[in-house]
Amino acid sequence: MSVTPKYSTKQRAQDRARILQILLTNKAVATGILGRLPQPDAHTPEQDISEIATLVARLPAADLADVLEALPTEERHALWRLIKDDQRGKILIEASETVWDDLIEGMSDKALLNIIRPLDIDDQIYLAQYLPRDLMGRLLATMPQEQRARVRQVLRYEKHSVGAIMDFEVITVRADVTLAVVQRFLRLRGKVPQNTDKVFVTTRDKTLLGELGLTTILLHAPQTLVMSVMDDNPTCFAPEDNDEVAARTFERDDLVSAAVIDSSGKLIGRLTIDEIVDVVYEETDNDLRRMGGLSAEEDVFAPVSKAVKARWAWLAINLCTAFIASRVIGLFEHTISQLVALASLMPIVAGIGGNTGNQTITMIVRALALQHIQPGNFSFLVLRELGVALFNGIIWGGVMGCVTWLLYDDLALGGVMTLAMVLNLLVASLMGVLIPMIMMRLGKDPAVGSSVLITAITDTGGFFIFLGLATIFLL
Amino acid sequence: MSVTPKYSTKQRAQDRARILQILLTNKAVATGILGRLPQPDAHTPEQDISEIATLVARLPAADLADVLEALPTEERHALWRLIKDDQRGKILIEASETVWDDLIEGMSDKALLNIIRPLDIDDQIYLAQYLPRDLMGRLLATMPQEQRARVRQVLRYEKHSVGAIMDFEVITVRADVTLAVVQRFLRLRGKVPQNTDKVFVTTRDKTLLGELGLTTILLHAPQTLVMSVMDDNPTCFAPEDNDEVAARTFERDDLVSAAVIDSSGKLIGRLTIDEIVDVVYEETDNDLRRMGGLSAEEDVFAPVSKAVKARWAWLAINLCTAFIASRVIGLFEHTISQLVALASLMPIVAGIGGNTGNQTITMIVRALALQHIQPGNFSFLVLRELGVALFNGIIWGGVMGCVTWLLYDDLALGGVMTLAMVLNLLVASLMGVLIPMIMMRLGKDPAVGSSVLITAITDTGGFFIFLGLATIFLL
């Protein structure tokens, strides 16, 4: 006899893949589910639809959320149609915000309230933050007074703060009772919130005194007093703390949950590792997307129209910067007409600068996110990057200078090539450090569009430096 | 009375910043610690050194690891010198691999063994994987037989597999005992490994039967039998499983720990959330670095020589691709000499393609990492991206075509501009989808250098398309 997982991770992965396969290989399945086929005839893929329905009934909410995220809009709607109301709320919680619009769209307010109301208060609050204003009002109206106050409080916290992701459901015990009393209290309570690895020790007015790990309860004699074994120096957060900084602290201290206290030391909620893992995924994903000029909310499976909308701004910015670079070259059209080889060579200077600039900026953006950059080591970084650029510029610029000399049999042209590469690499690395640092100082996200910006600078700079030097030395 | 954290997160952050500040503003401090000052004179910053020593003695290992990561090599050595042997082992565990070389360098084998030996077996195994071969042999020689077998086993698992990051220390109980017996057993044991949220129920030969959460133990009556309340359908992993896939499952199922079983169902270890959080940070960070052509191991504070070494390969690749693009332009030097405006306009076509290609590839790389792309939805993605490119090409290509027409008073040139932009955007988006998919098929990491590659293709392609069309239609 051994453990026979009734529903293994592997089986779940297969079931997820199977739903995708059915929906994506036969367009008629989605159309059939949505009832848009002209008439139910022999071609209605009834068998496929009922297979999907079976899989949907079996898969946990988190898996269904994943499948929904991996579908185009039409198929997403179709699958959503097959999901029962009591699953839908949990799925909304698990799914990323990018797909909410698609799922909520077309549902009546009443239906939406019906799927939200059975959720935990913490999940309701989480969803409420993203609901349309009027719908939120109606959701609030269905809540008891105390819950309503909590929702209002959460809505006051900014996005990306600890307050916006904390849970309100906490278990508290008193310091002057024994562990036996605590255990009896827990047993009476019957269940604990997910990711409970500790209970909080507070006074009657909710002032936090310490934390009591479940393992501590289990490992000590029942007659032990809480105050004698509690951790009275726990890691706490304030609701205003930044969520990414909190995530780092969770990682540093290997936390599963932590108390959130207000400025007077009163316990107002707790932060749990599952929210933190989401923050970590989001943080790094967003950096990646933002640097490339993708909006953080872009849904991979959005239809063409939405994808166009999500990206047009960056494209327009890019077009403007490319146009500026083009005009810089335009200034030197006379030079180019004299020596057309310059036109062939100038993209090398620009390209190598773009590469170095992007390497530098990627490193700095991540180091900033990791809080590794302090005012103290900033000048070291600038000098280090300039040193690397100078070295690479002389070596690789020298190589390209020689190649140019041999190719065009023009020593002066080779010299201009080398000099231009050295200078553009210096510009690229200096800007690669400065741009994210300045954005940070201005209170902007250093990742946003940094890649687009650095490429613009190294292109324009590269053309200007190379063609400028050529005009001075070669004409 | 309220909780008075003796050493708050904020205070720790201040202490970390203070060490950095002292070491980075006065070069003499590091030199002084390393004993390299010509002679201890009045200028030796004794006071600063003793302040750092005080802070070092107070800060936990995880914080010191962070500080070490944020220092240049010389200062890093100096700080390491001030850290006591009994802290050093823990710091190595917490620090990222990028700084190990710096820290281990200069330590004798004996000193290194001295700091590793007091660690937990799981930590020793973790470090052993990265030690030089001969040193590992000596470390193994100091271990009891059973531990040595374990280390050998772990070393067989590949990097980025569950086996390489699992813990061996697990608590097991039998299915036919009561919860009271379990609790007595735990109390006798006296302590549990970090991140223990459950114990594992096994047979005498270690076959996994189920899991018993600590909360289950606390919430049920002591006379309850383990088998009647255990979870007999737990999420398990195999040691060969990929660690990033395991991280996704942890996120999906909100796990804190999970069993690792071999193919015969025997429990061989467990995976914990702290390792998973590290995997998540690494996974996304690495994608970001790899796309830009940075090696995953690059240390932000490495000296110039190391940074040059870490980046030269990508720079060389970039130089080659830029050279190819330059030669493509070279083919059309005759065309350019006839119409020098082409030289000014061609970077617009190339640049806009690069931007779109990078947006697409970033999205696909992340969607692949999230396992959102299946054979079924692949063709949807290609068509979607081509649709977006066609739309953007016609709109923005049209705009640029008009601008070109007005600027150079040449309708045909404007037409070539529009057509070239449409075509290059189509190439960019097609390649943006295909490159990562093909790399994935070939078993390569789709992120590695994808940004460099797509830029090379859109540059070369853009120049070729634009200048080729110009040669056909304008000469």
The pLDDT tens digits for B123-163 are 887 787 777 777 777 778 877 787 788 778 777 888 889 99
Strands A172-173 and A208-213: unpaired
* Number of Cβ atoms within 10 Å of the Cβ of A108: 8
Q: Which of B326, B332, B361 should we substitute to test contact with A (largest number of A Cβ atoms within 10 Å)?
A: B326
Cβ–Cβ below 8 Å for A285 and B366: yes
Question: What average pLDDT score do residues B274-294 get?
Answer: 77
**B6 — pLDDT class (breaks 50, 70, 90):** low
What's the rounded Cα separation, in Å, for the pair B429 and B431? Answer: 5
Cβ–Cβ below 8 Å for A326 and B333: no
Confirm if A238 and A260 have CB atoms less than 8 A apart: yes
Q: Which of residues 307-346 of A touch B (CB under 8 A)?
A: 307-308, 311-312, 314-316, 318-319, 321-323, 325-327, 329-330, 333, 336-337, 340-346
Determine the residue of chain A that is closest to B328 in CA distance.
A344
pLDDT in tens, B309-321: 878 888 888 899 9
Give the one of A217, A370, A459 whose C-beta lies nearest to B351's C-beta.
A459
Q: Which residues contact B36 (CB under 8 A, 6 or more apart)?
A: none
Which residues in chain B are contacts of A374 at CB distance < 8 A? 17, 20-21, 24, 70
pLDDT, residue A333, reads 94
Tell me the C-alpha to C-alpha distance, in Å, between residue A228 and each of A103, A217, A224, A429, B183: 51, 12, 7, 56, 20
The CATH H-level (homologous superfamily) assignment of domain A9-155 is: MgtE N-terminal domain-like (1.25.60.10)
Q: What helix, strand, coil percent values describe chain A, rounded to 5?
A: 65, 5, 25
Q: What helix, strand, coil percent values describe chain B, rounded to 5?
A: 65, 5, 25
Which residues in chain A are contacts of B257 at CB distance < 8 A? none
Cβ–Cβ below 8 Å for B292 and A330: no
- Give the least confident one: A95-99, A162-166, A226-230: A95-99
Higher model confidence: residue A38 or residue B417?
B417
Cβ–Cβ below 8 Å for B307 and A214: no
Confirm if B355 and A293 have CB atoms less than 8 A apart: yes
pLDDT, residue B397, reads 95
Strands A208-213 and A198-202: antiparallel
Strands B257-261 and B236-237: parallel
Give the one of B3, B249, B364 whose C-beta lies nearest to A208's C-beta.
B3
Q: Which residues contact A295 (CB under 8 A, 6 or more apart)?
A: A289, A310, A311
Please provide the CATH number assigned to the domain covering A304-474: 1.10.357.20
Q: Which residues contact B228 (CB under 8 A, 6 or more apart)?
A: none
Higher model confidence: residue A451 or residue B7?
A451
Determine the residue of chain B that is closest to A349 in CA distance.
B322
Cβ–Cβ below 8 Å for A362 and B292: yes
Q: Min CA distance, A132 vs chain B (Å)?
A: 27
Q: Min CA distance, A281 vs chain B (Å)?
A: 7
Which residues in chain B are contacts of A218 at CB distance < 8 A? 183, 186-187, 214, 217-218
Question: What average pLDDT score do residues B244-268 get?
Answer: 91
**B343 — pLDDT class (breaks 50, 70, 90):** very high
Cβ–Cβ below 8 Å for B321 and A197: no
Question: What average pLDDT score do residues A369-379 get?
Answer: 76
pLDDT, residue A41, reads 56
Cβ–Cβ below 8 Å for A254 and B195: yes
* Number of Cβ atoms within 10 Å of the Cβ of B124: 22
Q: Which of A68, A208, A355, A460 should we substitute to test contact with B (largest number of B Cβ atoms within 10 Å)?
A: A355
| Percentage of the residues of chain A whose pLDDT score is greater than 90 | 43
Q: Is the pLDDT of residue A229 over 60?
A: yes
Cβ–Cβ below 8 Å for B288 and A292: no
Strand order in the sheet with A172-173: A172-173, A198-202, A208-213
Q: Is the pLDDT of residue A348 over 80?
A: yes
Instruction: Say whether residue A14 is in contact with chain B using an 8 A CB cutoff.
Output: no
SS (H, E, C) A158-190: CCCEHHHHCECCCCEECCCCEHHHHHHHHHHHC
The CATH H-level (homologous superfamily) assignment of domain B172-291 is: CBS-domain (3.10.580.10)
Give the one of A94, A285, A452 whose C-beta lies nearest to B355's C-beta.
A452
Q: Min CA distance, A358 vs chain B (Å)?
A: 6
Cβ–Cβ below 8 Å for A276 and B280: no
Cβ–Cβ below 8 Å for B252 and A94: yes
Q: Quote the DSSP letter at residue B2.
A: -
Cβ–Cβ below 8 Å for B6 and A233: yes
Confirm if B87 and B61 have CB atoms less than 8 A apart: yes
Determine phi and psi for B174, rounding to 5 degrees.
-95, 155
Q: Is the pLDDT of residue A271 over 60?
A: yes
Q: Which of B1, B3, B324 should we substitute to test contact with A (largest number of A Cβ atoms within 10 Å)?
A: B3
Domain spans in chain B, listed from the N-terminal domain onward: 9-159, 172-291, 304-474
Closest by Cα among B90, B66, B89 to B76: B66
Instruction: Say whether residue B374 is in contact with chain A using an 8 A CB cutoff.
Output: yes
pLDDT, residue A86, reads 85
Q: Is the pLDDT of residue B1 over 50?
A: no
pLDDT, residue A40, reads 54
Which residues in chain B are contacts of A285 at CB distance < 8 A? 284, 366
| Percentage of the residues of chain B whose pLDDT score is greater than 70 | 95
H/E segment holding residue B237: strand B236-237
| Mutual angle of helices A341-369 and A450-474, in 10-degree steps | 150
Cβ–Cβ below 8 Å for A384 and B303: yes
Q: How many CB pairs under 8 A join A and B?
A: 417
Q: Is the pLDDT of residue B452 over 80?
A: yes
pLDDT in tens, A176-213: 999 999 999 999 998 888 889 999 999 999 999 999 99
Q: Which residues contact A395 (CB under 8 A, 6 or more apart)?
A: none
Higher model confidence: residue A116 or residue B415?
B415
Cβ–Cβ below 8 Å for A234 and B5: yes
pLDDT in tens, A5-52: 567 778 888 899 889 888 888 888 888 888 765 555 556 678 888 899
Q: Min CA distance, B256 vs chain A (Å)?
A: 7
Instruction: Say whether residue A347 is in contact with chain B using an 8 A CB cutoff.
Output: yes
Determine the residue of chain B that is closest to A61 in CA distance.
B252
Question: What average pLDDT score do residues A276-300 get?
Answer: 74
pLDDT, residue B36, reads 65
pLDDT, residue B308, reads 83
pLDDT, residue A1, reads 45
Q: Check if CATH label 1.25.60.10 holds for domain B9-159.
A: yes
Instruction: Say whether residue B188 is in contact with chain A using an 8 A CB cutoff.
Output: no
pLDDT, residue B414, reads 96
Q: Is the pLDDT of residue A337 over 80?
A: yes
Print burial letters for B173-191: b (CB count within 10 Å at least 16), e (below 16): bebeebbebbbeebeeeee
Interface pTM (ipTM) of the complex?
A: 0.81
Cβ–Cβ below 8 Å for B304 and A391: yes
